[in-house]
């Protein structure tokens, strides 16, 4: 695993926003292709996002379950687990692709993260809904 991604994982698990932001390049751009309105740029928004998440999920822990790296681009599968402040479960999983500078700073991210659905439709129903095919 790339050192930057390991440091990011460790900073998240320590709830250390400062250590996380140190890994972000000033020109950082984030996008969530499945949710285009969530894109943003800059370290300040990274700090704001993670401060909010740590406040709302005080026992948040992450694991990097799979990882690929070519030195300038990393692709990793993340699992986020914890409980909201009200005690309800928090579980988010997905893939994050990061662009890395030579100095290891993260310059861009594409996040494909989703809240894990409990009790949702099975694959047949999901495909019917996706294709808009009647029962």
**Residue pLDDT, tens place only, 79-118:** 999 999 899 999 999 999 999 999 999 999 999 999 998 8
| Joined tokens for residue 134 | 């009647």
pLDDT for position 135: 74
pTM of the model: 0.89
Options 3.10.450.50, 2.60.120.380, 1.10.290.10, 3.30.470.20; CATH for 3-131 is 3.10.450.50
CB 91 within 8 A of CB 66: no
Listed residue (81, 78, 75, 79) closest to 110, CA to CA: 75
Distance of CA 63 to the CA centre of its chain: 11
Strand-pair category, 106-115 with 40-41: unpaired
Residue 42 to residues 16, 25, 46, 47, 126, Cα–Cα distance (Å)? 18, 8, 7, 9, 36
Segment (H or E) for 114: strand 106-115
CB 10 within 8 A of CB 91: no
- What is the per-residue pLDDT across 36-67, written as a single tens digit (0 to 9) for each? 999 999 999 999 999 999 999 999 999 999 99
Domain boundaries, the chain: 3-131
Q: What is the CA radius of gyration of the chain?
A: 16
Mean pLDDT of 68-86: 95
CB 57 within 8 A of CB 50: no
3-class DSSP state of 84: coil
């Amino acid at each position: 695993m790339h050192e930057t991604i390991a440091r990011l994982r460790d900073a998240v698990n320590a709830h250390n926003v400062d250590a996380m932001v140190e890994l972000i390049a000033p020109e950082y751009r984030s996008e969530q292709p499945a949710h285009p309105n969530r894109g943003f740029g800059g370290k300040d928004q990274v700090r704001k996002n993670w401060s909010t998440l740590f406040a709302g999920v005080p026992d948040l822990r992450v694991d990097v379950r799979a990882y690929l790296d070519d030195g300038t681009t990393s692709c990793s599968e993340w699992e986020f687990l914890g409980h909201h402040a009200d005690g309800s479960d928090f579980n988010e999983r997905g893939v994050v692709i990061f662009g890395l500078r030579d100095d290891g700073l993260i310059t861009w991210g594409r996040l494909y993260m989703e809240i894990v659905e409990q009790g949702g439709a099975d694959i047949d129903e999901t495909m019917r809904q996706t294709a808009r095919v009647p029962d």
